[in-house]
Amino acid sequence: MINLHFSGEGFVPPSTNDFNLPPIFENIAWLTKPVLLVFLSVILVSLFFVISARKAAVVPSKLQFAGESIYAFVRNDLARDVIGHDFMRFVPYLFTLFTFVLTNNIFGIVPFLQFPAMSHVGFPYVLALFSFFVFHYVGIRKQGLGKYLKDIAFMPGVPKAVYILLTPIEIATFFLVRPLTLSLRLFANMFAGHLLLLVFIMGGEYMLHDSHLIMKIFAPFSFTFGIALTFFEFMVQCLQAYIFTLLTALYIAGALADEH
Amino acid sequence: MRTFNFAAEGEKINPLIPHTAELVVGAIAFTLLFLVLRKAVVPMFEKAFAARTEAIEGGIKKAEQAQLDAQRALAQYNEQLSSAQGEAARLRDEARVQGAAILEELRTKAQDEANRITAAAHASIEAERQQAVTSLRNEVGALAVELASKIVGEALDDQARQSRIVERFIEDLEKSK
């Protein structure tokens, strides 16, 4: 899948082209590896949580406890602590967001899958768009369209002269910066992380195949560093899933609050 | 939006431009997952949480109820105990009073009996004395008559006369006393 970049002319570093994988079947253009991985994540996450939640026992089994712990983390530490009162409405959305992003991120270091679907910007765009609609919808429902927009454009409790500066910033923040940063943060982290792993693993491979002995000797260092970075990537993948969900919760909380 | 005419070697691809298919797939996949989790997972976990809270709070409530019951029972026992003690004291006092009354009654009865016996003894002694006096009187009379007849030599056989003489004699004796 990833064409190895060693030819006679020396090492060709991995580039953005390495993320553009060809279709799995020649004649089904849309069915690429990330698309497959995204569907796989839906199946895996659904199966895991449906099976672990099926009994809903007071004394949980190990499986139920595992599923419950993740759910409780999103429910209590993200939804309840950030949104507060009336948080239960948003738990299903935040829970889906967290598990979906987390699973697709972790696919980046799962052997044989080894591709973070979120490094394809289309998926983070969609998720950020959903979050964008959710928090604006919540704010409009809560405060009415007019008051909601007015509070965004003209933040209450600010001297009038400041509006010249503040109003464009606030409008840009709410309608452009938030969805963009939400999606690009996730995308860039996954993209860069995967690229980093590619550099060290493919670099090691290149060095191993090189005719010089010195290069062969140093190849294991490159692989070792690649493995160390894999652990680091795991941390980043979890963190990004957490941040995406946390920020969405914060935006919802902000839209629900009476004053921004 | 970029479609799937793949970049030729060397051509740079802008990674910030999404595939249309990925937008659609992402939306569908996320929505699917959302529906599944909302329908089958969130309510079940919430149910488990609620049941757990219920179980814990129920346990605490039950324990509190048991403690309350125990305290009430203890108070009841204490009350019963003190009332029993009071009852016992009352009974003891009553018994003492009754005992004293019985003793007094018995003493009175014994005294009466003693008096009665004493009186009877007196009466019987008096009767016996009377009898003795009578018989003595007869005997003394007879002896005296005998003595007199011996002295006088004249037999006073007639009983009636004899008696009269004796009576007179004794009366004289008594008078002269």
- pLDDT tens profile B82-131: 999 999 999 999 999 999 999 999 999 999 999 999 999 999 999 989 98
Confidence label for B67 from pLDDT (cuts 50, 70 and 90): very high
CB contact under 8 A, B29 and A42: yes
Range of the domain at A85: 6-256
Kindly give, in sequence order, each residue whose CB lies less than 8 Å from that of residue A254, ignoring residues fewer than 6 positions away. Answer: A135, A139, A260
A-chain CB neighbours of B5 within 8 Å are: none
Residue A260: name the closest of A158, A161, A180, A131 by CA: A158
Torsion of CA B70, B72, B77, B79, to 10 degrees: 160
Tell me whether residues A126 and B52 touch, CB distance under 8 A: no
pLDDT of residue B1: 44
pLDDT digits (tens, 9 = 90+) for A193-210: 999 998 998 888 888 887
**Number of domains, chain A:** 1
What's the average model confidence in pLDDT over B57-86?
Answer: 93
Q: Nearest Cβ partner of B27 from A16, A126, A187?
A: A126
Probe site for chain B from A21, A46, A48 (most B CB atoms < 10 A): A46
- pLDDT bucket at B157, cuts 50 / 70 / 90: low
What per-residue confidence (pLDDT) applies to A22?
78
Q: Coil, helix or strand for B18?
A: coil
Q: What does the mean pLDDT of chain B come to? A: 85
Range among A2-16, B9-23, B114-128 rated most confident? B114-128
- For residue B4, the model assigns a pLDDT of 44
Query: CA-CA distance, A234 to A259, in Å (whole number)?
Result: 38
Scan for tokens 């598990």, then name that residue: A99
Residue A224 has φ and ψ, to the nearest 5°, of -60, -45
pTM: 0.71
Mean pLDDT of A108-123: 90
Residue whose entry in the numeric block shows the structure tokens 């609620």: B50
Nearest by CB to residue B23, choosing from A15, A58, A126, is A126
Q: Is B16 on the interface with A (CB under 8 A)?
A: yes
Domain-embedded: residue A237: yes
Chain B partners within 8 Å of A53 (Cβ) = 40-41, 44-45, 48
| Per-residue pLDDT at A9 | 56
Nearest to A78 by CA among A66, A68, A64, A88: A88
What is the ipTM for the molecules in this complex?
Answer: 0.88
A137 found inside a domain: yes
Interface test with A, best of B19, B46, B52 (most A CBs within 10 A): B19
d(CA A152, CA A163): 11
Would you report the helix, strand and coil content of chain B in percent, each value rounded to 5? 85, 0, 15
- Residues B53-74 have a mean pLDDT of 92
Cα B144 to Cα A29: distance, rounded to the nearest angstrom = 182
- What is the per-residue pLDDT for A3? 47
Asked whether residue A1 is domain-assigned, the answer is no
Residue A15 lies inside a defined structural domain of this protein: yes
- In the structure, what pLDDT confidence band is assigned to residue A13 with cuts at 50, 70 and 90? confident
| A219 part of a folded domain | yes
Q: Does the pLDDT at position B145 exceed 80?
A: no
What is the gyration radius of the CA atoms in chain B, in angstroms? Answer: 67
